[in-house]
Structure 1
């Protein structure tokens, strides 16, 4: 079935819409031409071309000025909506272009993700409604690899890895400690090597967590593998199970300290890798983006 509907022509120039609305505001083509920076002849030609394009007469011209026809009044309504939409589009795109809008890809090791980041990220997201965070947990070496390959923007790692080629900023102290059941038959020592813990069953985070992967690497160096009784989703869950006497665990001191006084004992680890500092890292290219810099600045605030 054929249709007599006029095909839509999307070639209307926004400048011509602006010129037309100014004519209606000021009442004369002469005044409108001066306002938009055109000669009277050029403005008249553009308005005539606009009428030809939409297929209707838009203005009644007289010696006293120009008034809209019925079609002209309809166009005025749509022109206002189109111009307002274009203005909003330019504002929105300008924010993207300046880096003040978009998504920042943040990659973090387990300790920072579980302990230091949540409150700081919440504060940042509240203050920057135009920026979203894509958050991923990875071991420190995988975080640095992602930054170097350009698939991450900001990384938080422990300082035992090589940050060469990246911009690295010291952030927070992050001590790993052993968490033992209060009645564990492992002596009353205030410190012990990680290898000694491998003689006991473990309670840990998921095997995919950054901390679990890191501890597995350290265990392999001692020639032994940890035997996990159970893996759970959070440090608090780990501590509750350790308190029941099921096994031992390794976690950041900040997490273990929440359970001081419960049925657990915190013991320092003698291994050098257990005393570390968290670093905030970016690549040289990413550091120039305002949204990324805003996140880094927010993270280092006290």
Structure 2
């Protein structure tokens, strides 16, 4: 009898409010209960009470509180992994039911690297959105490594990455070629060379995208492997603006070949990079959980069937 009573009590205890999971994830993201409470529109007292109730429900100490803020315990980190998956599934539930509701709109979260975000995706996703008016797509640019990490943590079900990252545990299919080249000021002499190594390019001033863009982070990682730090004269928001300053002679720039071909102008020339990592393929990646969601599969299938003009061709 005691065993049955315990089992019933535990079943009741574990009826966790998804909002409390959202609050807990906000605490971990913001680092303090005060900031998390503000982010989810709760008073500090109400947020503290809900977090205490969450700890009681799970039977675990979830947060280490200090004067500097709050950090998850080992149990808290385990809960966070599950919370991210649960919240993502709830979002997907709304997406799945959108076609049955009246006026309810759903959203699929798509994470992608810079090449996909700026060059390929805008030209290929429009047809899908026109055909599925009840489904929106939330696109976020991240480095390929961060996209993979988010997929594995369950905070998204679909992503586009370069093939230099480890996609084990995910469903990955090749999408388009992605070749990185140098847009070079024409009056800078390169002799008759047909390519340049990235290490040698680092000896020259550069123009690039914002430091936190996926491409900038990827190139910074490549430079660090040789102990070099790129010298950027300026960073701008788009390849079109970057190309203008290359033409003016401010510096050279690394970008997808399609962007260089589209935005290159008088005063610039395209020089291929000789590094093996500059020739990549973009992959469409899906989580095993995402493969069971019709909305996610519909977007993935649409991207793969569109077969956009290959980058670098």
Q: Determine the C-alpha separation between the residues in 2 that align with 1:117 and 1:259.
A: 17
Name the CA distance, whole Å, in 1 between partners of 2:97 and 2:301.
24
**Residues in 1 aligned to 2:98 and 2:197: alpha-carbon distance in whole angstroms:** 55
Who is 2:122 aligned against?
Answer: 118
Kindly report structure 1 stretches of 4+ aligned residues shifted beyond 4 Å. none
2:286 counterpart of 1:277: no
Q: Distance in 1 between matches of 2:245 and 2:282?
A: 27
2:110 match: 106
> Are the counterparts in 2 of residues 101 and 291 from structure 1 also a CA contact under 8 Å?
no
- 1:138 aligned partner: 142
Q: Does 1:194 align with 2:198?
A: yes
**Structure 2 counterparts to residues 179-218 of structure 1, below 5 A:** 179-218=183-222
Q: How many residues align?
A: 209
Unaligned 5+ segments in structure 1 are 1-91
In the alignment, is the contact (CA less than 8 A) between 2:243 and 2:265 conserved in 1? no
Q: 2:297 aligns with which of 268, 293, 296?
A: 293
The 8 Å contact of residues 243 and 264 in structure 2, kept in 1 or not, is answered as no
Cα distance in 1, alignment partners of residues 222 and 290 from structure 2:
32
- Change in Cα spacing, 1:260 to 1:209, as seen in structure 2 (3 Å) is closer
CA distance in 2, matches of 1:133, 1:236: 25
Contact 1:182–1:263, Cα closer than 8 Å, also in 2: yes
Give the structure with higher Rg (CA). 1
Q: Is the 8 A contact 1:168 1:279 kept in 2?
A: yes
- Mapped to 1, the partners of 2:196 and 2:291 lie a distance apart of 40
Q: Does 1:147 align with 2:151?
A: yes
Cα distance in 1 between the residues matched to 2:191 and 2:238:
27
Q: Structure 1: how far apart are the matches of 2:298 and 2:166?
A: 25
1:175 aligns with 2:183: no
- CA deviation profile, 1:257-287 (whole Å, cap 9, x unmatched): 1145521111111111000100000100111
- Quickly say closer, same or farther: Cα 1:285–1:203, change in 2 above 3 A: same
Cα distance between partner residues in 2 of 1:95 and 1:199 = 55
TM-score (norm 1): 0.66
Q: Aligned equivalents of 2:202 and 2:111: distance in 1?
A: 29
Partner Cα distance (1:169, 1:255) in 2: 23
TM-score by length of 2: 0.64
Other-structure match for 1:51: none
* Matching of residues 50-129 of structure 1 within 5 Å: 93=97, 95=99, 102-129=106-133
Maintained 8 Å contact 2:183/2:264: no
Contact in 2 for aligned 1:176/1:251 (Cα 8 Å): yes
The whole-number CA distance in structure 2 between the counterparts of 1:214 and 1:173 is 17
Shift of 1:218: 0.4
Aligned match of 2:233 in 225, 229, 232? 229
Alpha-carbon offset, residue 152 of structure 1:
1.1
Gaps in structure 2 of 5+ consecutive residues: 1-95, 308-313
Moved more, 164-173 or 250-259: 250-259
